[in-house]
Amino acid sequence: AKKAGGGGFCFFDTRMRDSASTRLKEIEMLRHALRENQFVAYYQPIVNLSTEQIVKAEALVRWHHPQRGLVMPDEFIGLAEEIGLISEIDDWMFGEAVLCSKKFSALIDAPFQISVNKSALDFTNKVPTKNLAIYLASFKLDKGTICVEITESVLLNDSSIVIDKLAELQKAGIQLAIDDFGTGYASMSFLNKFKVDYLKIDRSFVQDMAANKDSRIFAETIIVMAHKLGLKVIAEGVETVGQRDLLKAAGCDYAQGYFFSRPVPLENFERLLQIIKT
């Protein structure tokens, strides 16, 4: 397909070269962002559905690009994974989340849990489990103040490396959540073998619940199953009062979504918590 009729190497090749150099530029910008501290953690409240109080938060990364402004994770996480930068971003977010949970726990005078996302790639890399244990110990975590969200793709690979790493997180007092539950290859057998703390129902089901009976049955069934296995359920992407009510009626434990609050910067989140305190 390289030799275009008569014209030789024209448009196609030029575009290839352009996109390759654009890619190099993007890679360099991403590395630069990490060095220059351009990443920012936003926090989205997670409420207890029976009290409607904010009881946890999920930390979500944003990139404050000096020219492009606020860049959302979907625009750079993929590239960061491809070039092996995701672990450093996730580690940085982990540190932010720890600081933040310590700060919020002091503010409300009770342990406050922050969830962080961990790329599936982090579980298959070659970093020895021993190093992970030392790394985790350095944070002096209070039990239950950090939750690590993993996707079902991590569980697909139920190799001993993955199991060891998950077990090490738990040993450090970290809770585990399965993110986007229902969208991947739900590893029922894994759930049976390895005890996590939370299932997060993916927002595609939550948002269809009111209009689509199957989605509602699906969500309700996940909740019943999770409870029978001793797990708590967090619903994602709750945008309407109707969705909240359906989830509440189905016995869902926690919810997160624009209906309660969008992800916000640290200062704003502190203000949200202060409202609860007083």
Pairing type for strands 175-181 and 113-117 reads unpaired
Binding mask 80-99 for ligand C2E (x = CB under 6 A): ------x---x--x------
Nearest residue to ligand C2E by CB is 257
SS3 54: strand
Cβ neighbours of residue 276 closer than 8 Å, sequence gap 6 or more: 53, 54, 108
Cα angle for residues 68, 75, 22 (degrees, 5° grid): 70
Binding mask 154-193 for ligand C2E (x = CB under 6 A): -------------------------xx-------------
Q: Which helix (H) or strand (E) holds 40?
A: strand 39-48
In contact, 9 and 3? CB cutoff 8 Å: yes
**Of ligand C2E, Ca ion, none, which one does residue 86 interact with (CB within 5 to 8 Å by kind)?**
ligand C2E
CB of 183 to Ca ion, least distance (A): 8
Residue 243 as a binder of ligand C2E (CB under 6 A): the answer is no
**Of Ca ion, ligand C2E, none, which one does residue 119 interact with (CB within 5 to 8 Å by kind)?**
ligand C2E
Among residue numbers 16 through 75, which ones bind ligand C2E (CB under 6 A)? 44, 60-61, 72-74
Pick from 85, 114, 252, 257 the residue near ligand C2E by CB under 6 A.
257
Residue 253 as a binder of ligand C2E (CB under 6 A): the answer is no
How far is 136 from 142, CA to CA, in rounded Å? 11
For Ca ion, which is the closer residue by CB, 29 or 152?
152
Name the token pair of 21: 């150099």
Burial class (CB in 10 A: 0-12, 13-18, 19+), 73: middle
Residue 152 as a binder of ligand C2E (CB under 6 A): the answer is no
Q: Which helix (H) or strand (E) holds 51?
A: none
How far is 121 from 86, CA to CA, in rounded Å? 8
Among residue numbers 104 through 163, which ones bind Ca ion (CB under 5 A)? 117, 149
Q: Which residue ranges make up the site for Ca ion (CB under 5 A)?
A: 117, 149, 179-180, 236
Q: Which residue ranges make up the site for ligand C2E (CB under 6 A)?
A: 44, 60-61, 72-74, 77, 86, 90, 93, 117, 119, 179-180, 203, 236-239, 256-258, 263
